[in-house]
Chain A
């Protein structure tokens, strides 16, 4: 038998729908309609003008997966994510030093956070000049200390472009990791450390048996953010190298953008972006399964 709603429940429902309606409508128009149309576009050969007429099935996907430039962008994205994991321990070291206290702590705390405040576009612009072979401080410094033979056009050589961008990426993301870990360290209950003191634990023991286990969930969150932010990274690459030279620093997002808006091959560009989404869904699924598995283990 169907449950009949009381007047009160009906009223509550109406209020709820009224409150969520603007959000839901905006999502249908500005997310789901374009999204479905993108899925459709990925099955057509399409140059961005007129109607979709040239149905090609999964050919765009085949083409993208066989494109060496796509595979390189995938490899570069992976490289960038792996290398940006460095930002987590770097952030942790800063956070931990701030936590145990150092003279000038306040100024350090504020100053170390500045890279994260500047927008990715401005960070990219600044570092493009920093890496400049003629007026850039990096090469001028190398020349000054007699290492001029290592000075080079960092962003316009295929061997160095991606590495140079990833250093900037670490510079920009370490402060975020620092902030989150410092916030969590400051919330750590006093009695945690008191207990350790009573047990006569030394500094290293405290570090490995209390601080690290306490921050384990935070490390998990930050690792996850490192992966998803890495997959989404576009601004920095686009401003610094546009994926160049010759695709040497292409990441997935810049590959998609170039494919769609420079080569005007929207079918392939969209197919590549669907592949990117599937990767994200896969990562989320693995993460959720892993969390469920560990939660189950902790319970038993």
Chain B
């Protein structure tokens, strides 16, 4: 009886916590399905009928479709670069002997201590000088630099845990160093590559500071920058289209999360090792 009661109490407690966690997003989604007049009449009611007009306005007129596409391209390209560069380097740092190894390693890890704010201006000046402003590389490489330390830490420790005998066996079969990496080690590294892909995608998709500073052409804005800008226009465009834009951005991630839940949780937990 007492046990039942405490279970009941725990359930109610979690229910309240659950509502606090999901309500803000649910509220925004509900409002996004109303007309502006309906929303201004009351912020608590459900829509009288489902109205997707706000989504059309946000997607087409407000340019969310453009920002969305830009973000997808930047995320995919950066993540590919991140995975290729970091996997190669992670393998070298874990399994190969070469002079200056710890120097180069700490050269990359030290980035964890450099706040992005420090290099915003000099990096922008440089990118301006070499005429890369508003191009894809101007986002991809700075993002790579931001991802590499964390990626390298988890990737190196993964390769370190793979037995050396595998390499030796490959060498006995006459494989060169590169062949051992490509033919034997890479196929074994799928789980860590998946983890890094999730961490990298989340990081790039959400990035704001560098995109805000470096992109000067509105047609090249990423979703973060575009949404933050649109959010300030509630007075002219009304609230409900902004709610639609916010819902689009949030729901994409939530849906991907629901599909890949296990991998997501594992990846984020692995990412926390950097602390």
Instruction: List the interface of chain A (C-beta within 8 A of B).
Output: 9, 11-13, 15-20, 22-24, 26-27, 29-35, 37-38, 41, 48, 94, 97, 100, 102-104, 107-108, 110-115, 117-122, 124-130, 135, 137, 140, 171, 175-176, 179-180, 183, 220-222, 224-225, 228, 231-232, 234-235, 238-239, 253, 256-257, 260-261, 266, 269-270, 273-274, 276-277, 280-281, 284
Contacts and interface: CB of A to CB of B under 8 A. Distances in A.
A254 B145 CA distance: 22
Contact of A175 (B15, B21, B152): B21
A252 B98 CA distance: 40
Contacts of B10: 97, 100, 102
A254 to B, nearest CB: 9
Contact of A284 (B39, B113, B250): B113
A89 B231 CA distance: 33
B18 A137 contact: no
Nearest to B12: A102
B199 interface: no
A110 B114 CA distance: 34
Given A121-B224, A239-B231, A273-B115, A38 B253 contact: no
Given A12-B98, A38-B119, A175-B21, 15 more contacts: A11-B177, A15-B181, A16-B96, A18-B178, A20-B88, A35-B119, A102-B7, A108-B17, A114-B25, A129-B239, A130-B27, A140-B43, A140-B44, A235-B209, A276-B118
Nearest to A236: B208
User: Ordered nearest first, which 9 A-B pairs have the shortest CB separation?
Assistant: A15-B177, A34-B122, A119-B206, A16-B98, A221-B275, A19-B92, A16-B96, A37-B122, A125-B231
Given A15-B96, A19-B89, A19-B92, A31 B145 contact: yes
A103 B121 contact: no
Contact of B122 (A38, A124, A130): A38
B70 to A, nearest CB: 14
Contacts, number: 258
Contact of B231 (A114, A128, A269): A128
B114 A31 contact: yes
Contacts of B242: 125, 129
A258 to B, nearest CB: 11
Contacts of B258: 110
Contact of B14 (A48, A97, A180, A183): A97
B43 A135 contact: yes
Nearest to A232: B115
A277 B113 contact: yes
Interface string B60-104: 000000000000000000000000111011011100111101001
Contact of A117 (B13, B176, B254): B254
Contact of B97 (A16, A124, A135, A222): A16
Contact of A27 (B13, B111, B125, B265): B111
A23 B85 contact: yes
B194 interface: no
B269 A183 contact: yes
B250 A118 contact: yes
Given A111-B21, A179-B268, A38 B96 contact: no
B162 interface: no
A135 B21 contact: no
